[in-house]
Structure 1
Amino acid sequence: MIFDTKRHPKTELFLRKAVRELSQADPVLAGLIRQVGPCKLGMRRRNGYFRSLVEAILYQQLTAKAAESILARFRALYPSRSFPTAEGIDRTPGSQLRAAGISSQKISYLKDLSRLTLNGSFPLRRVSLLEDEEVIRHLCQVKGIGRWTAEMFMIFTLGRPDVLPASDLGIQKAVQRLYGMKTLPSPQALEHFGERWKPYRSVAAWYLWAGTDGNALGRPQPPAP
């Protein structure tokens, strides 16, 4: 598991090892790693799991700028909280959420996530104990959460080290450009291609995002609906 560098010294050691072994295994990726610099992956505390899923839903199919604007208006509905709780979202009328710029479809997703969390049928605390594919199955119980969103959660929230979001458009484009492919690789082709990056595919994915258009932060791009 990848630990938050601010709280656990093992994170930096792990990432150094991952970068070293990826560079040895793939000379092309090694060039990108040198260009981008140190990897900045980490994970959130367990009480941030609900927040991560809410943000993932809000960001779906939007540019980062548009999503950040909606997220700010959404959070402003709950001024007494650092971030809205499941109970708070469940009690908020849909009209208020729509006024914050959230689509009716995403409102239904947020309500579903909140209700499942409140009634105990979606226990987020146990997610960190599950294997990767079990995490995906567990999260996909919620409306609006598919495999891509679950993979983002595993990489950026749980800190799982070996996840390759093969349907991510940003990664597909980066691989096509970096490796001189004539066509965009399919998810299946990318899964096969990414075997060379095991067991550090999350780190490889971060570098592929970070190297896209010189974006050192790395911005995942969900598959088209």
Structure 2
Amino acid sequence: MGIGAGAVDAGSPPARLLDSEAVLQEGVAALTRCDPVMARIVAAGAVPPLRKRPPGYEGLAGIIVAQQLSTASAGAIWNRLKCLLPVLTPESLAGAAEPDLKAAGLSAPKIRTLRAVAEAVAAGSLPLDGLHALPADEAHRLMVAVRGIGPWTADVYLLFCLGHPDAFPAGDLALQEAARLADGLDARPSAPALTARAELWRPWRGVAAKVLWAYYRVAKARDAAPVSS
């Protein structure tokens, strides 16, 4: 793996939330200073968009609903769910009838997860409104303690809904493939290997993920481009 010059400002305060383009670019600049691989792929066009989703219960529910579905299927189910529950809160979901949720297109496992999240929020064991103030690892631990929330779901929520600058979904296949391409590896790194690689990027691992996703798009576009004669 390509290893950079050193971790990003290890003794500095935690990075700020990714709530503006300025903060995102601050993170990108920090990564390019500490890791030559990051500097190279950013120079090659891996410029990430800010991209945020709504936070709170509704934002997390949207991620859960969309898991392992096509964009079209997820959108259709989400629209039916929002027609059933225009105000989607832990309370409204908990009070919804099982047959109605299934009629909206939700599978039994996803209904269980949405209910488990609603119960955890109501009990105070999952403080969705306060996760942004916690270190990424602690926020991640609280989320995956809820039945049905896996590591990928937790990190995607922390990164895209809360703008947590250090969330890193190492199990994401596109992220692993981008890391393989960036580091010139023969095979995609495993989630543990990519997690270890990402230690260099603290406290901007979330920005590193965005850069790698951007590089994945650049690489795919390059591979799809017609060869000139």
State TM-score, norm by structure 2. 0.77
Letter in 2 for 1:93: A
Separation in 2, partners of 1:215, 1:107: 37
What CA deviation, in whole Å up to 9, does each residue of 1:3-52 have, x standing for no partner?
Answer: 423xxxxxx332222222222333333343241435415575xxx31112
Separation in 2, partners of 1:179, 1:3: 26
CA 1:128–1:164 in 2, change beyond 3 Å: closer, same or farther?
closer
Match of 2:47 among 34, 37, 53: 37
Separation in 2, partners of 1:90, 1:214: 42
Match of 1:203 among 184, 204, 207: 207
Query: Do 1:209 and 1:215's aligned partners in 2 also have CA atoms closer than 8 Å?
Result: no
1:219 paired residue number: none
Matched, 1:75 2:75: no
Count of residues paired in the alignment? 204
Q: Which structure has the higher relative contact order (CA within 8 Å, separation 6+)?
A: 2
Letter in 1 for 2:198: G
2:33 paired residue number: 24
1:144 paired residue number: 148
Query: Do 2:48 and 2:211's aligned partners in 1 also have CA atoms closer than 8 Å?
Result: no
What CA deviation, in whole Å up to 9, does each residue of 1:63-100 have, x standing for no partner?
Answer: 3332222212211212xx3x412221112111111112
Gaps of 5+ in 1: 6-11, 217-225
* Aligned sequence identity (%): 34
> 1:59: how far off?
1.9
Q: What's the C-alpha RMSD, in Å, of the aligned pairs?
A: 2.5
Higher gyration radius (CA): 2
Matched, 1:86 2:90: yes
Query: Do 1:41 and 1:156's aligned partners in 2 also have CA atoms closer than 8 Å?
Result: yes
1:135 paired residue number: 139
Query: Do 2:120 and 2:126's aligned partners in 1 also have CA atoms closer than 8 Å?
Result: yes
Query: Do 2:90 and 2:118's aligned partners in 1 also have CA atoms closer than 8 Å?
Result: yes
Matched, 1:166 2:173: no
CA 1:123–1:17 in 2, change beyond 3 Å: closer, same or farther?
closer
Q: Following TM superposition, where does structure 1 have runs of at least 4 consecutive aligned residues deviating by more than 6 angstroms? A: none
State TM-score, norm by structure 1. 0.78
What CA deviation, in whole Å up to 9, does each residue of 1:132-181 have, x standing for no partner?
Answer: 22212221232211222111122122222123222221111111122221
